[in-house]
Structure 1
């Protein structure tokens, strides 16, 4: 096999298996090539990944070593993407009753959701995340995008139990926006005890739902290492029950009467 053909095959495999340790003998056997040739190929690949601003290859020495693809996203690209997304959300036609924004179209765009997932994965990659947790809302596409880059499963917290999920753990929590007592459940088989997780949500006001998920995850002994939200509401800061989080966008000055809204970058780059 020509080197160019081998490079295409190896690159495809590595991009489809992020955060996974891949041994040199695996590639050597797969493409019938010497380890020295594979090592040279990986050096070329690592250089191109860095130049494209989409990550790098981490080398692990030793008998059980190999390489691991760490997804990243160049800061300049990240800034441009977030600013473009903010401009799109400032369209006054998106304003809904209660100061919410219509975002379903954006969350239905595979490329946009994939980039959002890449940004969160870039921030959370060093945390050794073992599962991405979200609630059964519009945040599910983002959670799957993040999980695809971190190469971990998605765990979905639901408002009501499903008979197909077996036994569950449930808690009551206070919704941050409506101040109502609500229930959320998680099947016992979905998450191993003591897992390190990140929580992903599409929108956060006071953070009651996220705080509820944190309390539910305590029942599993989980370590919530990170919280990522696509957009946060600035006017809820005084009532917020969640403080340690990463947001891509911040929504402020929602004037329903005059059809005006301001959207700015969140705390992602802080």
Structure 2
């Protein structure tokens, strides 16, 4: 790249970092990219850091030493987080999405890249201080959500299936009890999709009793993996027994009245978790 003015460097540097979250980029790389002295690059990064943090976009972490550099960590400030959660709750309260059994139609949310990108950033922010090697979910509806989160964490996605596929090679399978239906079901994960000892973030689009999340935790034990967190887009509130305790939910269904065709959605515990992260 030919030598450009500071204004051009700041624009290109900002775009470069946002496209590569959680990747360590050396000052030498930027120095060569812009044909500028490292002292100038350091000044540029200070400006970018101030803008990122003042606007709640994220933060730049600097690592010293020969192998050091700078890393962009996506974040969400409390005001923006509260607004995004409010908008999601309002979408969920659309009575047209109510399905038999108290479920909600959510593919209009999971199918819109803009909504998913915002939701992915919310989860990435609240889990930003965790060491995460992979995001895991169960096919099918959880897949777009998992990829949205993984893109902001810069980690791969491991997809658990309820059937065996010859194209995925050797599989590890377990039986688990569905938390809501109390049925014995099977879930499987390809052996080569997740290295042993990985730190994994479990993701689910909807949770009632948490049987699916509990099953994924048991499956991860077969890989000697560590569960660093559980992220749930929407959780049901009226549940007799929850099979998982520690999780982060964006929204909670406070009321689902099929007779009156009414849904009331309220914020989950996400905002409390976000506050804990930003205050550290």
Q: TM-score, normalised by structure 1?
A: 0.98
Matched with 2:225 is 222
Correspondence for 1:145 among 112, 124, 148: 148
- Residue deviations 1:20-67, cap 9 Å, x none? 111100111111111011111101111111122110101111111111
Instruction: List structure 1 runs of 4+ shifted beyond 3 angstroms.
Output: none
Correspondence for 1:182 among 174, 182, 185: 185
Matched with 2:122 is 119
Matched with 1:200 is 203
Matched with 2:49 is 46
Cα distance between partner residues in 2 of 1:146 and 1:106: 15
Once the two structures are superposed, the pairs formed by residues 127-142 of structure 1 within 5 Å of their partners are: 127-142=130-145
Matched with 2:267 is 265
SS for the counterpart of 2:233 is strand
Contact 2:81 2:271 survives alignment (8 Å): no
Which stretch shifts more, 222-231 or 51-60? 51-60
Matched with 1:235 is 238
Correspondence for 1:30 among 15, 30, 33: 33
Matched with 1:255 is 257
* RMSD of aligned residue pairs (Cα, Å): 0.9
Cα distance between partner residues in 2 of 1:42 and 1:169: 45
Is 1:63 the counterpart of 2:82? The answer is no
- Residue deviations 1:149-191, cap 9 Å, x none? 1100011001111111110100011111111111100000000
SS for the counterpart of 1:176 is coil
Matched with 2:276 is none
Is 1:154 the counterpart of 2:167? The answer is no
Q: Per-residue deviation at 1:231?
A: 0.5
Give the aligned length: 269
Matched with 2:277 is none
SS for the counterpart of 1:18 is coil
Unpaired runs of 5+ residues, structure 2, are: 273-280
Q: Per-residue deviation at 1:87?
A: 1.2
- Residue deviations 1:123-170, cap 9 Å, x none? 111011110000002111111111011100011001111111110100
- Residue deviations 1:83-107, cap 9 Å, x none? 1110111111111000111111011
SS for the counterpart of 2:179 is coil
Unpaired runs of 5+ residues, structure 1, are: none
SS for the counterpart of 2:238 is helix
Correspondence for 1:166 among 164, 169, 180: 169
SS for the counterpart of 1:141 is helix
